[in-house]
Structure 1
Amino acid sequence: MNVLLVYAHPEPRSLNGSLRNFAVRRLEDAGHIVEVSDLYAMKWKAPLDADDSTKRSVDTPFNPSLDSKHAFENGLQTRDIALEQDKLRWADTLILQFPLWWFSMPAILKGWVERVYAYGFAYGVGEHSDARWGDRYGEGTLAGKRAMLIVTAGGWASHYGPRGINGPMDDILFPIQHGILYYPGFDVLPPFVIYRTSRIDEASFSTICESLGERLDKLSQTAPIPFRPQNAGAYDIPELTLRADVSPDRTGFAVHVASD
């Protein structure tokens, strides 16, 4: 299996750096081919802007979506963007590894998504009509591939529990898992989350690696999160709301995960 690990932490000697090294070794020892995009080491340009096209008219205002579409369709994307898109086409599985900073991914990783997910590559594909609203949420150019998050958090697990002060971790990660990953078609595996990172010693690190290794060993067998596909009948189109008879007593992020 081809695995792309997109890694976002500035310190290679950090917990994240050690976990990345372990993950790569474990995957390679199992016979997988691993490609790592180490965004800080690559000095990845985070902002999406007019410079992402190698040739554009300076007489027209910059339009993120339309400029992205034009560059993608006409081979005018900068080389760094095109190379990451090639990696995604190559990969059977994508792993995003990052520390949870201010309830989300580091800015450099968000910038990777914004620039690499070009119009026509990860969004804006398929028929848009009153009967179908594009190929997305379970369909799309990246359908058939798997994805998983490896996330570290400083807080206790209870802080991110169902009644924790920080909010449930599933809710915090929903925009990433459902939006960034499921939207263009990935089958999204449950995340691997490490809590209370400042208290991890050698013994607990060994235990974490054992658990992570088990998850990595089962990348191809683990059941994905059962997000509801957009175009399979559960949603009214073009309103894109769940039909009234689908989980009528539930609301919020969790309603988009099938439980029946």
Structure 2
Amino acid sequence: MRRVLVTGASRGIGRAVAMAFAERGERVAVHYGQDRLGAEQAISDLPGAGHALVSGDVGDPDTAQRIVDDAVAALGGIDILVNNAGLAPTAANVHRVAEVEFDEWQRTWRRMLEVNLLGPVHLSYAVAHHLIGRGTTGHIVNIGSRGAFRGEPNFPAYGTSKAALHAFGQSMAIALAPYGISVTSVAPGFVGTERQASKLESPEGDMVRLESPFGRVGTPAEIAAAVIYLASPESTWASGAILDLNGASYLRT
């Protein structure tokens, strides 16, 4: 039985990932930032026993270390880290360069990079040192985005943070391979989470679905299935990979 820390697991992709691991008999630390009720519901839905709740702002370095310490204490160790917590593009954080004031521009960039990039950076550091100290192998899986490749003109800080997260993962794949630690990333396209329900039900929903030749959006379960593979012993040779999960809505060259 392995021990898994999934950040941002109170809903959406993170919740699906936590469920997928628990269904396979793993023990899961369900992390949340603010949505405690959602996290409590998520953990109550998990099959099996020995799961734990951990909380805190991943964008704060000291808190990131404490989140890992809390998960280690609750589970008895960590074998897998899934860096899912992040700030997604919303109407509240649009920052078009020609329209936004400079002070808002700075705040948005700083916060987006703190949570989407530096959070995973510090969590990965803490988990890597935990694994190296135990002398055991492990897996780190980062949840990136197709926005890292196609550009996000309305949310440039978001696209940049995810591109940097992918690059960080590849650097860590090389650095941690001698210790038997695999580091990979997934790059989802549009995923039908609870947060996106209103958009998909609006007139804009058809346009979003038609971005993919399949005529639909992805599901949290599909992303979770990829994470399960990348965190499996059989996937170690995929370390350094970035797996596109966007239904052919964007193709890299």
Normalised TM-score (structure 1): 0.45
- From the CA coordinates, give the structure whose radius of gyration is larger: 1
More helix by share: 2
